Structure 1
Amino acid sequence: MGRLRSLQYLKLSSNSFSGKIPTNISHCIHLRVLDLRINAITGSIPDNLRSLMSLNHLELFRNNLTGTIPNWIGNFSSLKGLLLARNNFHGSIPSELGRLTSLEVFSLAANHLVAVNQLHGELPRNLGINLPNLENFYCGGNKFTGTVPASLLNSSRIQILDFPSNGFTGTLPAENLGTLRSLVSLSFAENSLGNRKTDD
């Protein structure tokens, strides 16, 4: 695989591949799409893949991957799709992912029947500012806490915000919701959102 130096598209989704991601993929430095979705791949995302600086799409959805999300993914300036859902990742979202200014689809959601991402912590405050091209953001079924970043509601291209089954608190910045003219789906079900009333 590593000898295919001119390879730009590697699509192996919906098979029965197991074991770890081959580290020699890192030699395919012109790779634009790495699609390993819906397999039985284990282990962590190998650090060698940091050399794939031309990636537009990194699709590892629905495997058995573990470990944390590498911060060096934030160096993939051309990345438009980052699909990491339905794995066993833990930890928080690296702040370096805020550099992915071309990102359009960001999926971290879990599926309890397959595997459960155990991502936690608060979402970065400047998420919506740093990811101006974000259209779809899925992070349901994790352990995120804190308030929903108001900056996220400033992303004019957002079409889908899917955040169910987390631990978000506080209120949604209602004054910003009306500016999301492209929004077609909004889900914050099964969180702890709300506004406690006080007596005048």
Structure 2
Amino acid sequence: MLFQNLSFLVELNLDYVNISAQGSNWCEVISHVLPNLRVLSLSGSGLSGPFCSSLSKLHFLSKLDLHSNSELSSIPPSFLANSFNLETLDLSYCGLNGSFPNNIFLLPKLQYIDLSENLLLPGQFPDFSLNSSIQYLSLKSTSFSGNIPLSISNLKSLNYLDLSRCKFYGVIPV
């Protein structure tokens, strides 16, 4: 109801407003009613339940900040698959589990990604492309694992990397 007549809204910031939405209804409503969103920030808003794949319909989305929603749970494989404008993704402290879709790391404009403090979130790195824009990457205290790919050296813009308390092995190439 709140968003019904706001279809041209481009930025929604309801950080620490207690929405307490359960299930995936909140993301379905937002993606259907607010198709022009560029910024979606709902940090610490009491969201829970699995993500729905309909957030991929937000083609203009450049920033998604949902940190500190500790009961969000799982992410579908198609999550943000068509989010070619996404620059910032913060899902830290969200209680995520299931496998993280590694194609998100390959989004062409992604610069900032924080998945830290999701202890039950497994995932692996993809082969990074030469034109990656990633500058900030934190996977601290997740269950990400595997060999660190040589292609991590393709992250030429990277200026912050935190892989502490993960399950990676191998050498970070210089």
TM-score with structure 2 length normalisation?
Answer: 0.86
Q: Which structure 2 residue ranges, 5 or more long, are not aligned?
A: none
Corresponding residue of 1:79: 86
Corresponding residue of 1:67: 74
Contact conserved, 1:117 with 1:141, CA < 8 A, in 2?
yes
Distance 1:93 1:22 in 2: 18
Corresponding residue of 2:113: 106
Corresponding residue of 1:95: 102
Deviations, residues 135-190 of structure 1 (Å, cap 9, x unaligned): 000111011222222212221110100111011122222xx2xxxxxxxxxxxxxx
Which of structures 1 and 2 has the bigger CA Rg? 1
Distance 2:156 2:93 in 1: 27
Of stretches 44-53 and 59-68 in structure 1, the one that deviates more from structure 2 is 44-53
Of stretches 148-157 and 32-41 in structure 1, the one that deviates more from structure 2 is 148-157
Contact conserved, 2:131 with 2:154, CA < 8 A, in 1?
no
Corresponding residue of 1:9: 11
Contact conserved, 1:71 with 1:97, CA < 8 A, in 2?
no
Cα distance change, pair 108–18 in 1 and its aligned pair in 2 (3 A): same
Contact conserved, 1:99 with 1:131, CA < 8 A, in 2?
no
User: Could you say which structure has the greater relative contact order, defined with CA pairs below 8 angstroms and 6 or more residues apart?
Assistant: 2
The residue type equivalent to 1:172 in the other structure is I
Deviation at 1:118, TM superposition (A): 1.4
Corresponding residue of 2:49: 43
Distance 1:121 1:49 in 2: 20
The residue type equivalent to 2:66 in the other structure is L
Contact conserved, 1:71 with 1:95, CA < 8 A, in 2?
no
Distance 2:105 2:11 in 1: 25
Deviations, residues 63-117 of structure 1 (Å, cap 9, x unaligned): 021112542402100000011111121123313324411000011100xxxxx34
Higher strand share: 1
Output the aligned Cα RMSD.
Answer: 1.9
Contact conserved, 2:52 with 2:75, CA < 8 A, in 1?
no
TM-score with structure 1 length normalisation?
Answer: 0.76
Distance 2:122 2:131 in 1: 20
Distance 1:152 1:93 in 2: 18
- Identical columns (%): 26
Aligned length: 167
The residue type equivalent to 1:76 in the other structure is S
The residue type equivalent to 1:79 in the other structure is L
Contact conserved, 2:56 with 2:78, CA < 8 A, in 1?
no
Q: Does 1:140 align with 2:146?
A: no
Cα distance change, pair 100–143 in 1 and its aligned pair in 2 (3 A): same
Matched residue of 1:49: which SS?
helix
The residue type equivalent to 1:12 in the other structure is L
